[in-house]
Amino acid sequence: DAGVTQSPTHLIKTRGQHVTLRCSPISGHKSVSWYQQVLGQGPQFIFQYYEKEERGRGNFPDRFSARQFPNYSSELNVNALLLGDSALYLCASSLGVGMNTGELFFGEGSRLTVL
């Protein structure tokens, strides 16, 4: 069974550019969450989507946006990239939201480097 798949795995951008990261959840999972992991820290919550609706947003600026498609895949967009956006961006899928569906399964991440 395929796990959570993310693309691209690595990318390099320059300041001011924008980036789109993609995620396909585990088959049957309807919720996708995005996390940012800076080197040496635990993942930080960015967004959660369930049934194509945003269900939660972390403390990130409006330069970060996301959406979920009818097939439950998702995109994370970051505009006007800053050096500090360099991080591993993790996508996680789960069956739904809340208790007992809170087990998140992570992809391998997209490593973004901003120069």
Partner 1 sequence: GQQLNQSPQSMFIQEGEDVSMNCTSSSIFNTWLWYKQDPGEGPVLLIALYKAGELTSNGRLTAQFGITRKDSFLNISASIPSDVGIYFCAGLMEYGNKLVFGAGTILRVKS
Site for partner 1 in 19-38 (CB under 8 A): 33, 35
Which 3 state secondary structure label does DSSP give 21?
Answer: strand
CA atoms within 13 A on the CB side of 108: 8
Strand partners, 113: 12
For position 44 contacting partner 1 by CB under 8 A, the verdict is yes
Q: Which of 41, 53, 71, 84 binds partner 1 (CB under 8 A)?
A: 41
Whose Cβ is closer to partner 1: residue 59's or residue 71's?
Answer: 59
Q: Which stretch binds partner 1 (CB under 8 A): 12-20, 64-72, 74-82, 98-106?
A: 98-106
* Measured distance CA(4)–CA(2) in Å, rounded: 7
Distance (Å) of CA 76 to CA 40, 64, 99:
22, 7, 25
Whose Cβ is closer to partner 1: residue 45's or residue 79's?
Answer: 45
CB of 83 to partner 1, least distance (A): 21
